[in-house]
Amino acid sequence: MAKAPNPPILAPRDHLSEGTPPAARTLKPALVEAVLARRLRPHASTTSQALGQRTGRRRSTQTMTHRAWLIDLDGTLYRPLPVKLLSGLELALLGFSHLASIRIFRSEHERLREELTEAVASPFEVQLERTAAKAGLTAPELDRVVRAWMVARPAKWIRLFARKSLLAEIRAFRAAGGKTALVSDYPARTKLKALGAEGLFDAVVANGEEGGPARLKPWPDGYLKAAELLNVPPAECLIIGDRDDADGEAARRAGCAFRQIH
Protein backbone atom coordinates (compact mmCIF):
# COMPACT_ATOMS: atom_id res chain seq x y z
CA MET A 1 0.00 0.00 0.00
CA ALA A 2 1.49 3.34 -1.04
CA LYS A 3 2.47 5.74 1.74
CA ALA A 4 0.72 9.07 1.79
CA PRO A 5 3.11 11.94 1.03
CA ASN A 6 4.32 14.00 3.93
CA PRO A 7 2.50 17.33 4.29
CA PRO A 8 4.53 20.35 3.15
CA ILE A 9 6.33 22.47 5.69
CA LEU A 10 4.96 25.99 5.47
CA ALA A 11 7.01 29.02 6.44
CA PRO A 12 5.43 30.99 9.32
CA ARG A 13 4.68 34.67 8.66
CA ASP A 14 7.28 37.14 9.81
CA HIS A 15 5.18 39.29 12.19
CA LEU A 16 6.15 40.03 15.76
CA SER A 17 2.58 40.44 16.95
CA GLU A 18 0.63 37.61 15.33
CA GLY A 19 0.14 34.20 16.90
CA THR A 20 2.71 34.63 19.67
CA PRO A 21 2.24 31.89 22.29
CA PRO A 22 1.48 33.29 25.78
CA ALA A 23 4.48 31.38 27.17
CA ALA A 24 6.78 33.46 24.96
CA ARG A 25 5.98 36.50 27.08
CA THR A 26 8.01 35.04 29.97
CA LEU A 27 11.12 35.42 27.80
CA LYS A 28 12.75 32.34 29.34
CA PRO A 29 14.80 30.56 26.68
CA ALA A 30 14.14 26.99 27.84
CA LEU A 31 10.38 27.50 28.02
CA VAL A 32 10.20 29.41 24.74
CA GLU A 33 12.19 26.71 22.96
CA ALA A 34 9.67 24.08 24.06
CA VAL A 35 6.62 26.17 23.18
CA LEU A 36 7.89 27.17 19.75
CA ALA A 37 9.46 23.84 18.79
CA ARG A 38 6.58 22.81 16.53
CA ARG A 39 5.55 26.19 15.16
CA LEU A 40 9.00 27.53 14.33
CA ARG A 41 10.82 24.39 13.26
CA PRO A 42 13.46 24.86 10.55
CA HIS A 43 12.77 24.54 6.86
CA ALA A 44 13.88 21.30 5.29
CA SER A 45 14.54 23.08 2.00
CA THR A 46 17.64 25.19 2.38
CA THR A 47 18.57 25.83 -1.23
CA SER A 48 21.62 26.71 -3.21
CA GLN A 49 21.40 29.02 -6.19
CA ALA A 50 24.81 27.93 -7.37
CA LEU A 51 24.81 24.22 -6.62
CA GLY A 52 21.25 23.14 -5.78
CA GLN A 53 22.24 21.75 -2.38
CA ARG A 54 20.43 21.43 0.90
CA THR A 55 21.83 22.41 4.27
CA GLY A 56 22.68 19.16 5.99
CA ARG A 57 23.72 17.43 2.76
CA ARG A 58 27.48 17.56 2.43
CA ARG A 59 28.49 17.02 -1.15
CA SER A 60 32.03 16.58 -2.30
CA THR A 61 31.48 18.91 -5.29
CA GLN A 62 31.53 21.96 -2.98
CA THR A 63 34.81 20.92 -1.41
CA MET A 64 36.41 20.22 -4.79
CA THR A 65 35.11 23.33 -6.53
CA HIS A 66 35.61 26.00 -3.87
CA ARG A 67 38.67 26.50 -1.75
CA ALA A 68 36.92 28.95 0.57
CA TRP A 69 33.46 29.67 1.95
CA LEU A 70 32.60 33.29 2.77
CA ILE A 71 29.59 33.20 5.06
CA ASP A 72 27.01 35.76 6.17
CA LEU A 73 25.82 35.70 9.80
CA ASP A 74 22.37 37.20 10.46
CA GLY A 75 19.64 35.06 8.95
CA THR A 76 22.20 32.55 7.69
CA LEU A 77 23.79 30.90 10.73
CA TYR A 78 20.52 31.07 12.67
CA ARG A 79 16.82 31.09 11.81
CA PRO A 80 15.76 34.74 11.74
CA LEU A 81 11.98 34.54 12.27
CA PRO A 82 11.91 33.27 15.87
CA VAL A 83 14.88 35.46 16.79
CA LYS A 84 13.15 38.56 15.39
CA LEU A 85 9.90 37.63 17.10
CA LEU A 86 11.42 37.07 20.53
CA SER A 87 13.85 39.98 20.34
CA GLY A 88 10.95 42.22 19.29
CA LEU A 89 8.86 41.06 22.23
CA GLU A 90 11.71 41.65 24.63
CA LEU A 91 12.31 45.13 23.23
CA ALA A 92 8.60 46.02 23.39
CA LEU A 93 8.21 44.77 26.97
CA LEU A 94 11.52 45.76 28.54
CA GLY A 95 13.03 48.42 26.28
CA PHE A 96 10.06 50.30 24.87
CA SER A 97 11.80 53.67 25.25
CA HIS A 98 14.44 52.50 22.75
CA LEU A 99 12.02 51.12 20.16
CA ALA A 100 11.91 54.24 17.98
CA SER A 101 15.71 54.56 17.92
CA ILE A 102 16.15 50.93 16.90
CA ARG A 103 13.62 51.31 14.09
CA ILE A 104 15.40 54.39 12.75
CA PHE A 105 18.74 52.60 12.98
CA ARG A 106 17.43 49.66 10.93
CA SER A 107 15.93 52.01 8.33
CA GLU A 108 19.20 53.91 7.99
CA HIS A 109 20.98 50.60 7.45
CA GLU A 110 18.84 49.78 4.43
CA ARG A 111 19.26 53.31 3.04
CA LEU A 112 23.02 53.11 3.36
CA ARG A 113 23.09 49.95 1.25
CA GLU A 114 22.19 52.14 -1.73
CA GLU A 115 23.37 55.60 -0.71
CA LEU A 116 26.85 54.79 0.60
CA THR A 117 28.56 54.44 -2.77
CA GLU A 118 32.01 55.61 -1.67
CA ALA A 119 34.27 53.64 0.67
CA VAL A 120 34.42 54.96 4.26
CA ALA A 121 36.39 54.01 7.35
CA SER A 122 33.29 52.62 9.11
CA PRO A 123 29.76 52.38 7.67
CA PHE A 124 28.63 51.54 11.22
CA GLU A 125 29.79 54.96 12.48
CA VAL A 126 28.02 56.69 9.58
CA GLN A 127 24.84 54.79 10.45
CA LEU A 128 25.16 55.76 14.12
CA GLU A 129 25.66 59.44 13.29
CA ARG A 130 22.71 59.60 10.89
CA THR A 131 20.41 57.78 13.31
CA ALA A 132 21.51 59.78 16.36
CA ALA A 133 20.72 63.05 14.57
CA LYS A 134 17.18 61.85 13.82
CA ALA A 135 16.58 60.26 17.24
CA GLY A 136 17.86 63.18 19.32
CA LEU A 137 20.70 61.17 20.88
CA THR A 138 24.46 61.38 20.83
CA ALA A 139 26.29 58.75 18.80
CA PRO A 140 27.82 57.14 21.96
CA GLU A 141 24.38 56.93 23.59
CA LEU A 142 22.91 55.29 20.51
CA ASP A 143 25.88 52.94 20.22
CA ARG A 144 25.16 51.60 23.74
CA VAL A 145 21.49 51.09 22.87
CA VAL A 146 22.26 49.29 19.61
CA ARG A 147 24.87 46.99 21.08
CA ALA A 148 22.59 46.10 23.99
CA TRP A 149 19.35 45.49 22.08
CA MET A 150 20.60 44.34 18.68
CA VAL A 151 23.73 42.41 19.67
CA ALA A 152 23.94 41.36 23.34
CA ARG A 153 20.31 40.64 24.23
CA PRO A 154 19.45 38.68 21.05
CA ALA A 155 22.40 36.35 21.70
CA LYS A 156 20.35 34.01 23.90
CA TRP A 157 17.72 33.59 21.18
CA ILE A 158 20.36 33.16 18.46
CA ARG A 159 21.83 30.29 20.49
CA LEU A 160 18.45 28.53 20.58
CA PHE A 161 17.76 28.84 16.86
CA ALA A 162 21.17 28.11 15.37
CA ARG A 163 21.22 26.33 12.02
CA LYS A 164 23.05 23.32 13.41
CA SER A 165 23.21 21.42 10.14
CA LEU A 166 24.88 24.35 8.38
CA LEU A 167 27.36 24.76 11.23
CA ALA A 168 28.11 21.04 10.91
CA GLU A 169 28.73 21.52 7.17
CA ILE A 170 31.19 24.30 7.92
CA ARG A 171 33.06 22.07 10.37
CA ALA A 172 33.22 19.28 7.80
CA PHE A 173 34.44 21.68 5.08
CA ARG A 174 37.20 22.93 7.35
CA ALA A 175 38.16 19.39 8.32
CA ALA A 176 38.55 18.64 4.61
CA GLY A 177 41.00 21.53 4.26
CA GLY A 178 38.65 24.36 3.26
CA LYS A 179 39.09 27.94 4.42
CA THR A 180 36.23 29.98 5.92
CA ALA A 181 35.50 33.64 6.65
CA LEU A 182 32.55 35.38 8.28
CA VAL A 183 31.29 38.57 6.60
CA SER A 184 28.62 40.63 8.37
CA ASP A 185 27.08 44.09 8.06
CA TYR A 186 26.65 44.16 11.85
CA PRO A 187 28.97 43.41 14.81
CA ALA A 188 29.56 39.66 14.80
CA ARG A 189 31.81 38.33 17.54
CA THR A 190 29.23 38.34 20.37
CA LYS A 191 26.82 36.41 18.16
CA LEU A 192 29.50 33.95 17.06
CA LYS A 193 30.26 33.26 20.72
CA ALA A 194 26.56 32.62 21.38
CA LEU A 195 26.53 30.14 18.49
CA GLY A 196 29.67 28.41 19.74
CA ALA A 197 31.19 29.20 16.34
CA GLU A 198 34.15 31.38 17.30
CA GLY A 199 36.62 28.77 16.08
CA LEU A 200 34.89 28.07 12.77
CA PHE A 201 36.33 31.02 10.84
CA ASP A 202 39.83 31.90 9.74
CA ALA A 203 38.84 35.56 9.33
CA VAL A 204 35.98 37.82 10.45
CA VAL A 205 35.04 40.96 8.52
CA ALA A 206 32.24 42.66 10.46
CA ASN A 207 30.79 46.17 10.29
CA GLY A 208 31.15 47.90 13.66
CA GLU A 209 34.30 45.96 14.52
CA GLU A 210 37.97 46.50 13.73
CA GLY A 211 38.80 45.52 10.16
CA GLY A 212 35.21 45.83 8.96
CA PRO A 213 34.04 46.49 5.36
CA ALA A 214 34.25 49.90 3.70
CA ARG A 215 30.71 49.63 2.29
CA LEU A 216 27.64 47.54 3.06
CA LYS A 217 26.29 44.70 0.95
CA PRO A 218 25.42 44.45 -1.92
CA TRP A 219 28.77 46.17 -2.41
CA PRO A 220 31.29 43.32 -2.44
CA ASP A 221 33.89 45.06 -0.26
CA GLY A 222 33.47 42.78 2.76
CA TYR A 223 33.59 39.57 0.75
CA LEU A 224 36.55 40.71 -1.32
CA LYS A 225 38.42 41.66 1.84
CA ALA A 226 37.65 38.23 3.32
CA ALA A 227 38.94 36.48 0.19
CA GLU A 228 42.10 38.55 0.37
CA LEU A 229 42.61 37.67 4.04
CA LEU A 230 42.25 33.98 3.15
CA ASN A 231 44.59 34.40 0.15
CA VAL A 232 42.00 32.77 -2.13
CA PRO A 233 40.90 34.28 -5.50
CA PRO A 234 37.20 35.32 -5.54
CA ALA A 235 36.51 32.87 -8.40
CA GLU A 236 37.42 30.02 -6.04
CA CYS A 237 35.14 31.26 -3.23
CA LEU A 238 31.54 30.33 -2.43
CA ILE A 239 29.44 32.99 -0.71
CA ILE A 240 26.70 31.62 1.57
CA GLY A 241 23.94 33.98 2.67
CA ASP A 242 20.20 34.42 3.10
CA ARG A 243 19.54 37.52 0.95
CA ASP A 244 19.89 37.42 -2.82
CA ASP A 245 19.58 41.21 -2.99
CA ALA A 246 22.51 41.62 -0.58
CA ASP A 247 24.74 38.52 -0.39
CA GLY A 248 23.77 37.25 -3.84
CA GLU A 249 24.34 40.57 -5.57
CA ALA A 250 27.63 41.02 -3.71
CA ALA A 251 28.68 37.58 -4.95
CA ARG A 252 27.88 38.48 -8.53
CA ARG A 253 29.82 41.73 -8.30
CA ALA A 254 32.78 39.96 -6.69
CA GLY A 255 32.83 37.11 -9.21
CA CYS A 256 32.00 34.44 -6.61
CA ALA A 257 29.52 31.57 -6.60
CA PHE A 258 26.48 32.01 -4.36
CA ARG A 259 24.46 29.65 -2.22
CA GLN A 260 21.23 31.04 -0.78
CA ILE A 261 19.93 29.90 2.59
CA HIS A 262 16.16 30.07 3.16
- In this prediction, residue 63 carries a pLDDT of 43
Residue 179, helix vs strand vs coil: strand
d(Cα 175, Cα 119) in Å, to the nearest integer?
Answer: 35
What gap in Å lies between CA 223 and CA 228, rounded to an integer?
A: 9
CATH number of 47-79+162-260: 3.40.50.1000
Question: CA angle, 201 as apex, 199 and 205 as ends, to 5°?
Answer: 125
The Cα 98–Cα 145 span in angstroms is 7
Strand stretches in 7-63, DSSP E: none
In one letter, which amino acid is 213? P
How high is the pLDDT of residue 50?
A: 39
Q: Which residue stretches of the chain have pLDDT < 70? A: 1-64
Specify the pLDDT at position 65.
86
Domain boundaries, the chain: 47-79+162-260, 81-155
Q: List the beta bridge partners of residue 259.
A: 240
Model's pTM, two decimal places?
0.76
Tens-place pLDDT, residues 197-241:
999 999 999 999 999 999 999 999 999 999 999 999 999 999 999
